Structure formats: structure tokens, C-alpha cells
């Protein structure tokens, strides 16, 4: 099986993004996206030319896929989306809000935390008699940077708890907004394979980004057999796509 993870940056590079998805739809069974709008009621004013119906536009290309979307931050910065080929049996799809108390847009109160509740999207499916769970996540963005904070450590603890309670071979992917050598990342790494570290990836950013750093990750449990992992050099967002082939 093949999986691609990408922060789609709300589709601001729309044409190359859609061409990329169409090209890979023939041989990729699972797509996990962050920052995907689905007709939101509220949009961050700092976004430039976002595609407000990006989810339905991707659905048109991925017609042979079951699709699931959850709005994050009341839609402020888009949401999470998983597309999985219809040949797979989906057992369960869930959405977790990690910080319910923050899940209200308040520009003054939350100006240092473009985070709000932080959603985690979880999909469980069967393939060849084996259970897999995909956890699609977009971690909190904090003005001070991507180092440890009490909130970020607590966030990782909440994600890890959901990860550990999930069934089968587990894959956590997304734009985590965490540096590699932090306690926040170590919480997620422990007992698992952090493929960004294992493959010594130094950047998951495209040339459209303001700086080159690692913010996107794929972390897998021991039951996942990794066949191939790499960063795809396709400039379709300020992030680069992550590619995983696995059993």
C-alpha cells in the first residue's frame, strides 16, 4: 500500500496541487491532508487566495476514494481530510478535539496560539486480513517557535494516548509543528519508528516556505512493515509531500 501525506496550504498553489493528486491517484491508496477547506463559515484573514471548497474539488479527482473531512479551528485554517481507496473496508472514522476549551476563535485571546482545539482524525480499516489505523494530525502553531511548551507536551501526551488505544498497525502522519529533538516528539517516538529521524530528513519544506525545517512527520508502530519512505520533491505547497509504502 502507498500513502501520501501533505499540508495542502489551503490550495493556494491550486493547479500544481491538483495535477500532483491526479498523477498519484492511480497508484496511491491513501491521501492524508492538512489545511483543507470545506465551505467554511470563517476564514483566517492572513490567508491569501485559499480554495474554500478544496475538499470537494479533490473529491472530483479522487472519485474512486471514500473521503472524510473534519473542520479544524472552526474552519479558520481549513481542516483535516483523509481519502482512502474504495477497495479497502473502513471500520471506523473518528474525530478528536484535543483541547475543547480552546475551540473558540478569539483573535485577541489566542493570538499566540493559532491552535484552538486541535483536531486529530482517526481512520481504522482492514486490508488482507490485517487492521490498520491512520491518525491524521495538524499540531498547534505557536508564535515562539516549535520547541517544547507545556501545551505542546500535553498535546503530544493526548495524541499518544489515542495512538496507544488504537487497533492494529498504526500510522501517525501530519504537520506536527514540532522540532525533532524535543520532549514533545520523544513522547510520540517512544517504541515507534519516526521515519523522519530514521531516514535523516533535514527539511520537509518546499522553496515556497519562509525557512527550511522539519515540521511534517510519519511515525509508525512496530506492526507496520515499511517498504519505502521518502520526501517527494513536488512544489505544490509550502510543505513537501511525504510518501510511505507499507504493509
Query: Which residue is associated with the grid cell 501526551?
Result: 157
Name which residue leads in pLDDT, 236 or 102. Answer: 236
CB 11 within 8 A of CB 37: yes
- What's the pTM? 0.93
Residue 95: band (very low, low, confident or very high) from pLDDT cuts 50, 70, 90 = very high
pLDDT in the model for residue 157: 98
Q: How far is CA 186 from CA 80, 152, 173, 212, 222, in A?
A: 24, 12, 15, 21, 16
Residue 127: band (very low, low, confident or very high) from pLDDT cuts 50, 70, 90 = very high
pLDDT in the model for residue 42: 74
Residue 103: band (very low, low, confident or very high) from pLDDT cuts 50, 70, 90 = low
pLDDT in the model for residue 211: 87
Least confident of 61-65, 95-99, 138-142, 205-209: 138-142
CB 117 within 8 A of CB 96: no
Residues 6+ apart with CB under 8 A from 208: 9, 13, 235, 237, 238
Q: Does 25 score more than 80 pLDDT?
A: yes
**What percent of the chain has a predicted confidence (pLDDT) above 90?**
78
Residue 207, SS3 per DSSP = coil
pLDDT, one tens digit per residue, over 208-237 is: 998 889 999 999 999 999 999 999 999 999
pLDDT, one tens digit per residue, over 163-207 is: 999 999 999 999 999 999 999 999 999 999 999 999 999 999 999
pLDDT in the model for residue 71: 86
Amino acid at each position: 500500500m502507498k500513502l501520501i501525506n501533505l499540508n495542502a496550504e489551503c490550495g493556494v498553489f491550486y493547479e500544481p496541487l491538483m495535477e500532483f493528486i491526479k498523477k498519484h491517484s492511480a497508484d496511491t491508496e491513501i491521501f492524508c491532508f492538512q489545511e483543507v477547506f470545506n465551505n467554511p463559515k470563517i476564514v483566517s484573514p492572513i490567508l491569501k487566495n485559499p480554495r474554500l471548497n478544496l475538499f470537494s474539488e479533490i473529491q472530483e479527482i479522487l472519485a474512486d476514494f471514500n473521503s472524510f473531512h473534519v473542520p479544524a479551528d472552526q474552519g479558520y485554517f481549513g481542516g483535516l481530510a483523509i481519502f482512502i481507496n474504495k477497495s479497502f473496508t473502513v471500520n471506523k472514522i473518528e474525530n478528536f478535539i484535543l483541547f475543547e476549551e480552546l475551540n473558540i476563535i478569539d483573535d485577541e485571546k489566542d493570538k499566540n496560539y493559532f491552535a484552538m482545539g486541535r483536531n486529530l482524525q482517526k481512520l481504522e480499516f482492514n486490508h488482507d486480513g490485517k487492521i490498520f489505523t491512520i491518525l491524521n494530525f495538524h499540531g498547534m502553531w505557536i508564535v515562539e517557535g516549535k520547541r517544547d511548551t507545556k501545551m505542546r507536551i500535553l498535546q503530544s501526551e493526548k495524541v499518544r494516548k489515542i495512538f496507544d488505544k488504537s487497533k492494529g498497525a498504526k500510522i501517525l502522519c501530519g504537520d506536527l509543528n514540532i522540532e525533532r529533538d524535543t520532549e514533545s516528539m520523544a513522547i510520540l517516538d517512544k517504541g515507534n519508528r519516526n521515519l523522519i529521524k530514521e531516514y535523516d530528513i533535514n527539511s520537509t519544506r518546499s522553496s515556497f516556505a519562509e525557512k527550511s525545517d522539519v515540521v511534517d512527520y510519519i511515525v509508525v508502530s512496530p506492526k507496520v512493515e515499511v517498504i519505502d519512505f521518502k520526501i517527494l520533491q513536488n512544489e505544490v505547497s509550502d510543505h513537501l509531500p511525504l510518501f510511505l509504502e507499507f504493509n
